[in-house]
Amino acid sequence: MIVTQISEMQAIADKTRAQGKRIGLVPTMGYLHQGHTHLIEIARKKADVVVTSIYVNPTQFGPKEDFNKYPRDLGRDKKLAYKSGTDFLFVPDDQEMYGNEPLTVVTVKKLTDGLCGASRPWHFPGVTTIVSKLFNIVKPHIAIFGQKDAQQALVIKKMVDDLNFDIVIHVAPIVREHDGLAVSSRNKYLSSEERKNATILNQTLKHAEGRIKEGEPKTQVLIDEMTAMINKVKNARIEYVEIVNAINLEPVDILESNIMIALAVFIGKTRLIDNKVINI
Ligand code: AMP
C-alpha cells in the first residue's frame, strides 16, 4: 500500500505499535536495485511490518548536483519493493515534507567533516534532518542502512545515540555487481565504456587490501598506489582516496586495527563511492 501523507503514516505506525508489532524502516531515494531490495529483505526478517520510504530529498543535494535528473521510476519501484517484502511504501512529496518552511536542521559534527562531508558540506545535515523526520513519521523499531554509504551509517548511528532515538540501526553489507562494482542508482548514468572503467574503484580497494595482507604498514604508500591506478583510467577524477579509522573516521598514517579505505571518484560526470573495512 502506498502512503503519501505524514498523518496517515503516523496513524498506521501507532496502530501497528498498539498491536505489539515491530516496524522496520528502509529509507531510500528510489530507483530501487539489489542493494535496496537486500535491505528490505533484512527488514522483512527482523520486523513484523516493513515500511520502505522513497523520497529524493532535495536538501542533501548541492545546487550543481543531480537532484533534477536523479532517476525516478515509481512503477518499477513498487513492484521491486513489494516483491522483496515491503508492506507500506511511504512516498511523500516536497510539499508534504518541507511545506511548513522548516527552521530546524539536525547536524552531526566531526564525523561529517571528512570524506564525503569535506566536498559536500550540505549533504549530511540534509541526510540527518530527513532521516530524523522519517523516524518521527514511521516510528520504526529498527531501521536498515547500507555499508555502501559507510559514513552515512556511522553518522546516523551517532545521531540515534546522541538524540536517544529508541531505534536499532542495522547496517547491511555492500551488494556488488558480478565484476565488483557496488550497485548504485547512479550507475545508470554511466556509458558502456564508463561502466567498464568504473570497476577501478573496487579494483583499487582489493589492491590495497592485498598490499595490507602482504604487510605494507604505511597508508600513504597505499593511497599513492591506488591514486596511480585510478589516474590511468580515462576520464576518472579522484575526489578523495583515504584510509581512516573505521570508528571515528580520522585519517590513519600507520595501519592500526579497524581501518576503512574509502574513495569517491568521478567517472566522467558520475560521482561514485565505495569502501572496504579491514580489521587488522
Ligand atoms: P539511496 O537510495 O542511494 O539513498 O540508498 C538507500 C539505502 O540503500 C542506503 O542506506 C544505502 O546505503 C543503501 N544502499 C545503496 N546501494 C547499496 C549497495 N550497493 N549495497 C548495500 N546497500 C546499498
Among 261, 150, 273, 244, which residue's Cα sits nearest to residue 207?
Answer: 261
- DSSP lists the bridge partners of residue 52 as 26, 89
**Residue 144 Cβ < 6 Å to ligand 1:** no
Instruction: Pick out the chain residues at pLDDT < 50.
Output: none
What is the C-alpha to C-alpha distance for residues 200 and 226, in angstroms, rounded to an integer?
A: 9
- Matching residue, cell 571515528: 248
Active site residues: 36
Cα 29 to ligand 1 centroid, rounded to whole Å = 9
pLDDT of residue 272: 98
Instruction: Evaluate: CB of 89 within 6 angstroms of ligand 1.
Output: no
Cell 502506498 belongs to residue: 2
Give me ligand 1 centre to Cα 7, in Å: 26
Q: How far apart are CA 264 and CA 82, in angstroms?
A: 32
Ligand 1 in reach of 37 Cβ (< 6 A): no
Q: Does the C-beta of 175 come closer than 6 Å to ligand 1? A: yes
Distance 271 CA to ligand 1 centre (A): 15
Atom 15, ligand 1: residue with shortest CA distance: 35
- State the pLDDT at residue 160: 99
pLDDT at 257 (0 to 100): 84
- Only one residue has cell 569517491, namely 264
